[in-house]
Amino acid sequence: MSSLKRLNLIESHLTSRFPTIPFDESLNDYRKKGTPINKTLLLESYLGHFYPGIMERRRIMHENPLFNHFDEAELSREALRKRIVQQIAAIYPSAGLNYKVVKEDYTKKLELLYGMADYDIALAVRLLVHLVLYTDTVTNLGTAKHLNLVDRAYNLQDYGSFGMTELGHGSNVASVETTAVYDHSTREFILNSPTATSAKWWIGAIGKTANMSVIFAQLFVDNINKGVHAFVVPIRKNDASHETFPGVVLGDCGKKIGLEGIDNGFILFKNYRIPYDCLLDKFSSINPEGKFKSAIKNKEKRFGIMIAGLVGGRVSCTSGCEQDMRNGLTIALRFSAVRKQFSGQEGPELPVLNYPLQRYRLIPHLAKTFATRASVIYSLGTNINTFFKRLEEDPECLEVNEFHAVLSALKVVTSWYGIACLQECREAVGGLGYSSYAQLGRIRNNQDVMATWEGDNSVLIQQAGKFLFKQVQKTFKGQKIQAKTLKFLKTDINEVNLFKPKFENSEQLENEAVLLEIIEYRVNILLHQSLLKLQENTMTSIDMIDAWNKAQVYYIQELSKAYGELILTNDFLRFVNELAAKDQVLGKIFRKYWLLYTIGVIEKSLVTLMENVFNATHVKAIRESIMRLCNELAEDSIQVIDALATPDLVLGSVLGVSDGQIYKKMVETVEKGKRVYEKPEWLPLLLKVKGIKN
Amino acid sequence: MSSLKRLNLIESHLTSRFPTIPFDESLNDYRKKGTPINKTLLLESYLGHFYPGIMERRRIMHENPLFNHFDEAELSREALRKRIVQQIAAIYPSAGLNYKVVKEDYTKKLELLYGMADYDIALAVRLLVHLVLYTDTVTNLGTAKHLNLVDRAYNLQDYGSFGMTELGHGSNVASVETTAVYDHSTREFILNSPTATSAKWWIGAIGKTANMSVIFAQLFVDNINKGVHAFVVPIRKNDASHETFPGVVLGDCGKKIGLEGIDNGFILFKNYRIPYDCLLDKFSSINPEGKFKSAIKNKEKRFGIMIAGLVGGRVSCTSGCEQDMRNGLTIALRFSAVRKQFSGQEGPELPVLNYPLQRYRLIPHLAKTFATRASVIYSLGTNINTFFKRLEEDPECLEVNEFHAVLSALKVVTSWYGIACLQECREAVGGLGYSSYAQLGRIRNNQDVMATWEGDNSVLIQQAGKFLFKQVQKTFKGQKIQAKTLKFLKTDINEVNLFKPKFENSEQLENEAVLLEIIEYRVNILLHQSLLKLQENTMTSIDMIDAWNKAQVYYIQELSKAYGELILTNDFLRFVNELAAKDQVLGKIFRKYWLLYTIGVIEKSLVTLMENVFNATHVKAIRESIMRLCNELAEDSIQVIDALATPDLVLGSVLGVSDGQIYKKMVETVEKGKRVYEKPEWLPLLLKVKGIKN
């Protein structure tokens, strides 16, 4: 603890108008209920290869008074933005990133961002826009001549932004309206924003900060539209004046639901000329004779590669969801262990975490958090270096497409997990959760945006669906399924229909093989139901797109989510097995979490399963298992959260403190608030309303 | 439109840096898709007896520049609080409320609050705490000598608050720690807050405003605890000094997730002496000899009556949920009709409201909104005067208990409807929904608190369950069920098991009698499953409370929600029938909404229904109906929303404007933002980070 923080603490003791608050043993009591576990081992396993990087960031934040959520609560938007730049300056150099380091191991970049996201998604995202969206795009789509820009980016000599979304186009990026017309006479491009809706919108770091931006625009060569291309464009003078260049309009998008520390802005171009080298020309170029050529002929595929810069963002999104959930649950669980309300017919009031309902509300989210973490480690973390390598070698290969599909499904599923989890945490904490000092509002409002950015969930999930159908289509032509994650697919409906669930009670249900079979069956049956629905729709639809759109609800969207949850199930099981090999006690606890996660996934598809193979006996077993697992795991949950929680000062929640002194912390924080004991500034108005002469 | 507003509009045209934005016909085009309807008739029916009152409030707000959400976006907490007092002063006198008026027709009070909630729940709640929680409690629990306080309250000479919740006790009010010790020697009560957790917490209007408060405290007479009683207590001098009385500590609870215009605060008492007359002594009193007596012997029942002041709050809560949903859906639906993204295989981009998925995401919430409205009109609005009358005559009678149960179920069900609806609206609007100027964040964050205040949902819903069980228990003693809302209950499980759903396809499903039967069956089967579960639990539980707690998940909570949804279904059907009698076109449209609502309710219980009587054929019919109804109703939805929407200036959302110029409105609003085109205040810091010499 810094001396400043210590001083503040002492001060508050001396000035409080509250009765003295005795030490509250409730959290310790709950802690003792749990099985003692090896917390360090658990944390190391849980953070995986990100462990050292995240711990280093925690250390930096812990020691630095700049990282203090309570101070931030009352900051104005501009002050918050200043604070976040100070925080980036304090933490970024520790990562020692440059082109070479990242090329060798991309996870070095991720571990920095994940460490920052422990504190606040906003902090990580503020840097991510520059470090991932901007820098990766220049790296992946640029050529040798752009390498100096990459170096400048890693040195923070340039601060970049990512000009893709427009006011009128978010999901359908292929239809952005910004134009880049090639002028061969000067070998320049002329950027224009022909309409208000073509304004680049929501662009992080544009409002105030960035001097560079990657701009996605329709490229015209000889009046022919060559599709969307990316340009790296200077937008503000990189000197003390920080002036916007003539021909560019940059503004601030104003107040948002959350993430106020990020200066999202808009960009307009008016006949803004940029030299040829601004084109990121790895896949498309214009030769000195003015002739356009592209390594990838298909416009749609070319576009798919153009947005490869989003990969790091989506991976971080998934990790961010896990962090938001874990932070939210740390707060909700610790609170629930301390908060006492009602008793049995006799005896003292009980911690609300004793109630089966509260356990059912929270513990399944903890299981989802762990599943998400497992996919961040394996499907995403372990594979991302291979992905970038394969992307460079062959951007159209199966592995690249499969990674995109897996990532799309995971981003979507986990962001919705996160939104549901944070809302539940907020409510489970009751009225006190409505205080800003609980931090659940901030985390929830930050999590909220995960559903609509980096690919809107309802649209992005269709990418996973398309991948599945493309792979299946190949089998209709006699090819075998090559995709690693789809080996289990059964393309023959008769084979699928042979399936019978192998349990009649909860004991039989809680079996790895039995559960995995159901998880796979679920994808298979949804696939066939979706295929059937598509086939039906072709009779009543104007075209294939129409048929596709009409098969989203109940079918393709459910299929794609089921695919994502299959990945999560498998990754989570791998995590449990590796953990069990290291520590039996932990293995036993986490195997229960895996059971709860997997049975919970099955429960959400009960209607589909009952349409086909399940009956009332299966439902009964599922509900019994869920309630039993929630009850058993709740007893251990404080121990487990202790191991995995973000440290108090980084988490910054009065209700989530590890010493369990939640009331004390709440009172101290409220008493340090703005004008807490002062009369209203608007007293004269109040007196007037009440008819009191002043 | 006020001249000031008009002026602002003209100004922005002259200074914009954006390309001219042509008139966008999209919303009009969508409007034309719908059946032309009698909008005035619809609105009149929809607002019911609240129609004139709400319209009058809209008129006042519309003409007054104080009511402007965009101005409020950038206000500090204190400035927002000032603004809200100004708004109350501007709108309150129009209601002409006094003791007599309210006694004759309580809905006069509600119509004022509902009118205000059109603008913002926070505005209504800011007044409600005083006008309902405080004033109704004094009215209902006080005696003749307290009438002058009621008059003072209606004249705003006193501003009251409601000191029930404590830092340590929310749901379990019966265990509050504040004490009121009767001192017979002076015929006074001595109020004390013995611990920090006994601080009254979250008390609206306490932070800065109130001079009076109703305080709930454990009454001690001759060292014997007589249970929780309510006292009406002066806390600040009612003069120009506005000083807090010695012995009282009043402070501000600080920053919240939403409702920042409300000055929630805390209260501590230190040997604060109040005269005998502060006891609200209608049901309990202490005679001049110092002897305590109470009209209601049972402590628990007495406590139930003590909190009758919450009724108006819970009723308003339910109405507020409807308003939040309607406002959210106005924004999301208009946006979806204007927003175009992607096309078919050929042709221009399509409004996102054309996509079946978007329709499925939004239209069922519209149906829920209408169902909620119907219950606000009938089960609550029509019955509330009777409730207060019966409460006075016989506070322990069946009608009073039944109204409490219905209200509990409705408050819980509709507040969760609202939270889900607002989250869906927020996401359905995509990234632009994350702007504060869309207002979806504000509405969502205000709606959020509905789940945990005025009775935490998870606890309050148990009140409905308890009522159901009590009624059923009576039948075991041979009595008939008297409760009007429970006439359909079948206490013989064999009779319940005779039920067979009378549909095999979606055409047969869309039938009033068929659906109502299922809705009733659903309550019956859940009741018997719950009874069975309770019986099972008695074997494994330490006492009845434990058995009860173990039967919440899957059983009693579901039963109670199903009861609430049965009330909603019936009220909604009554609304449709009355509307159809007036206008066939509207009747036809709203009958479809009723079908969608009711089938949606059934869909949510499919697992339970499939455990018993449904099979795959029923599921297919249900899904088909839902998709078809969503598609048909989406076509009419803009017409319907036009009729019911809160007016533009009161709604205040750039994305929900009735002329459909959403991009224009967004750009205008953003350009009027704070420091939109200015360099950052923290430029020196940025230059330093980038290594640029200043």
* pLDDT, tens digit (0-9, with 9 covering 90-100), for B183-230: 999 999 999 999 999 999 999 999 999 999 999 999 999 999 999 999
A277: in domain: yes
Bridging pattern class, strands B212-221 and B162-163: parallel
B247: in domain: yes
CB A125 within 8 A of CB A449: no
Percent of chain B's residues with pLDDT above 70: 98
Whether residues B431 and A440 touch (CB distance < 8 A) is answered with: no
d(CA B526, CA A424): 24
Position B438 pLDDT exceeds 70: yes
Nearest CA in chain A to B252: A676
Report pLDDT for B9.
57
Binding site of B, by residue number, is: 165, 204
Its pTM surpasses 0.90? yes
* pLDDT confidence tier of residue A2, bands split at 50, 70 and 90: low
Query: What distance in Å separates residue A82's CA from the closest CA in chain B?
Result: 6
**Catalytic residue selected from A402, A454, A510, A520:** A454
Report pLDDT for B507.
98
Mean pLDDT of B583-611: 98
Position A308 pLDDT exceeds 90: no
**CATH number for B228:** 2.40.110.10
* pLDDT confidence tier of residue A14, bands split at 50, 70 and 90: low
Domain-ending residue, one of B249, B272, B299:
B299
- Sequence-ordered list of residues with C-beta below 8 angstroms from that of B349, at least 6 positions apart, any chain: A172, A175, B340, B341, B342, B343
Residue B528 in tokens: 């018997």
Q: Please indicate whether residue B6 or residue A185 has the higher confidence score (pLDDT).
A: A185
Q: Are residues A393 and A446 in the same domain?
A: yes
* pLDDT, tens digit (0-9, with 9 covering 90-100), for B73-128: 889 999 999 999 999 999 999 999 999 999 999 999 999 999 999 999 999 999 99
**Residue-averaged pLDDT of chain A:** 95
Range of the domain at B232: 162-299
Whether residues B435 and A361 touch (CB distance < 8 A) is answered with: no
Report pLDDT for A299.
77
Site from B255, B439, B529, B615 to mutate, A interface, most A CB atoms within 10 angstroms: B255
Residue B213, CA distances (Å) to A137, A462, B43, B137 in order: 61, 56, 38, 10
Q: Are residues A399 and A478 in the same domain?
A: yes
Mean pLDDT of B174-180: 96
d(CA A65, CA A90): 11
Position B11 pLDDT exceeds 70: no
Whether residues A257 and B440 touch (CB distance < 8 A) is answered with: yes
Backbone φ, ψ for residue B13 (5° rounding): -60, -35
Domain-ending residue, one of B299, B330, B347:
B299
Size of interface A-B (CB pairs under 8 A): 383
Query: What distance in Å separates residue A636's CA from the closest CA in chain B?
Result: 19
Region class of B290: left (phi > 0), else alpha (psi between -120 and 50), else beta: left
Position A4 pLDDT exceeds 70: no
Mean pLDDT of A429-442: 97
* pLDDT, tens digit (0-9, with 9 covering 90-100), for B518-529: 999 999 999 999
Nearest CA in chain B to A556: B357
d(CA A351, CA B460): 18
B42: in domain: no
B144: in domain: no
From chain A, pick out residues whose CB is under 8 angstroms from the CB of B679. 208, 242
* pLDDT, tens digit (0-9, with 9 covering 90-100), for B525-567: 999 999 999 999 999 999 999 999 999 999 999 999 999 999 9
Position B1 pLDDT exceeds 60: no
A658: in domain: yes
Whether residues B680 and A209 touch (CB distance < 8 A) is answered with: yes
Mean pLDDT of A128-156: 97
Percent of chain A's residues with pLDDT above 90: 92
Mean pLDDT of A41-69: 95
Across the interface, of B88, B441, B554, the residue whose CB is closest to A623 is: B554
Across the interface, of B194, B611, B627, the residue whose CB is closest to A616 is: B611
User: Terminal CA-to-CA distance of chain B, rounded, Å?
Assistant: 48
Q: Are residues A456 and A327 in the same domain?
A: yes
Position B295 pLDDT exceeds 70: yes
Across the interface, of A73, A257, A346, the residue whose CB is closest to B441 is: A257
Q: Are residues A191 and A88 in the same domain?
A: no
* pLDDT, tens digit (0-9, with 9 covering 90-100), for A199-226: 999 999 999 999 999 999 999 999 999 9
**CATH number for B547:** 1.20.140.10
Q: Are residues A109 and A208 in the same domain?
A: no
Mean pLDDT of B280-309: 88
Position A374 pLDDT exceeds 70: yes
Residue A292 in tokens: 């356009």
Report pLDDT for B7.
61
* pLDDT, tens digit (0-9, with 9 covering 90-100), for A569-607: 999 999 999 999 999 999 999 999 999 999 999 999 999
Report pLDDT for A300.
77
Whether residues B78 and A606 touch (CB distance < 8 A) is answered with: no
Q: Are residues A230 and A335 in the same domain?
A: no
* pLDDT confidence tier of residue B5, bands split at 50, 70 and 90: low
Report pLDDT for A135.
98
* pLDDT, tens digit (0-9, with 9 covering 90-100), for A470-484: 999 998 888 999 999
* pLDDT confidence tier of residue A305, bands split at 50, 70 and 90: confident
CB B45 within 8 A of CB B650: no
Site from B191, B235, B300, B342 to mutate, A interface, most A CB atoms within 10 angstroms: B342
Report pLDDT for B297.
82
Residues found in chain A? 694
Residue B137 in tokens: 């409690």
Query: CB atoms < 10 A from the CB of B652, how many?
Result: 26
Is position B454 annotated as part of the catalytic site?
yes
Q: How far is CA A440 from the centre of its chain?
A: 16
Element (H, E) at A201: strand A200-203
Site from B211, B253, B606 to mutate, A interface, most A CB atoms within 10 angstroms: B253
**Catalytic residue selected from B454, B510, B558, B668:** B454
User: Side chain identity at B109, as an amino acid letter?
Assistant: K
Position A10 pLDDT exceeds 70: no
Whether residues B356 and A550 touch (CB distance < 8 A) is answered with: yes
B682: in domain: no
Report pLDDT for B14.
65
Mean pLDDT of A9-15: 62
Position A351 pLDDT exceeds 90: yes
Across the interface, of A199, A627, A677, the residue whose CB is closest to B18 is: A199
Across the interface, of A453, A606, A677, the residue whose CB is closest to B607 is: A606
Q: Are residues A216 and A363 in the same domain?
A: no
Position A9 pLDDT exceeds 60: no
DSSP assignment of B295-312: S---HHHHHHHHGGGHHH
Whether residues B550 and A249 touch (CB distance < 8 A) is answered with: no
* pLDDT confidence tier of residue B12, bands split at 50, 70 and 90: low
Whether residues A175 and B263 touch (CB distance < 8 A) is answered with: no
Whether residues B171 and A255 touch (CB distance < 8 A) is answered with: no
Report pLDDT for B640.
98
Q: Are residues A123 and A234 in the same domain?
A: no
Q: Which residues pair with A182 in a beta bridge?
A: A189
Domain-ending residue, one of B246, B267, B299:
B299
Number of domains forming the structure of chain A: 2
Report pLDDT for A54.
95
Q: What is the ipTM of this complex?
A: 0.96
Laid out side by side, the sheet with B248-252 consists of: B200-203, B265-269, B248-252
Q: Are residues A169 and A108 in the same domain?
A: no
Whether residues B240 and A693 touch (CB distance < 8 A) is answered with: yes
From chain B, pick out residues whose CB is under 8 angstroms from the CB of A72. none
A513: in domain: no
Query: What distance in Å separates residue A397's CA from the closest CA in chain B?
Result: 26
Q: Are residues A264 and A194 in the same domain?
A: yes
d(CA A52, CA B636): 57
Q: Are residues A219 and A328 in the same domain?
A: no
Nearest CA in chain B to A203: B431
- Sequence-ordered list of residues with C-beta below 8 angstroms from that of A424, at least 6 positions apart, any chain: A332, A361, A362, A365
B24: in domain: no
Across the interface, of B430, B610, B683, the residue whose CB is closest to A456 is: B430
Q: Are residues A250 and A340 in the same domain?
A: no
Position A340 pLDDT exceeds 90: yes
Mean pLDDT of B434-443: 97
Site from A24, A235, A342 to mutate, B interface, most B CB atoms within 10 angstroms: A342
Query: What distance in Å separates residue B522's CA from the closest CA in chain A?
Result: 16
- Sequence-ordered list of residues with C-beta below 8 angstroms from that of A692, at least 6 positions apart, any chain: B238, B239, B240
Q: Please indicate whether residue B456 or residue A306 has the higher confidence score (pLDDT).
A: B456
DSSP designation for B479: P
Report pLDDT for B2.
61
Nearest CA in chain A to B160: A690
Report pLDDT for A67.
96
DSSP assignment of B374-429: HHIIIIIIITHHHHHHHHHH-TTSHHHHHHHHHHHHHHHHHHHHHHHHHHHHHHHT
Report pLDDT for A5.
59
Whether residues A664 and B196 touch (CB distance < 8 A) is answered with: yes
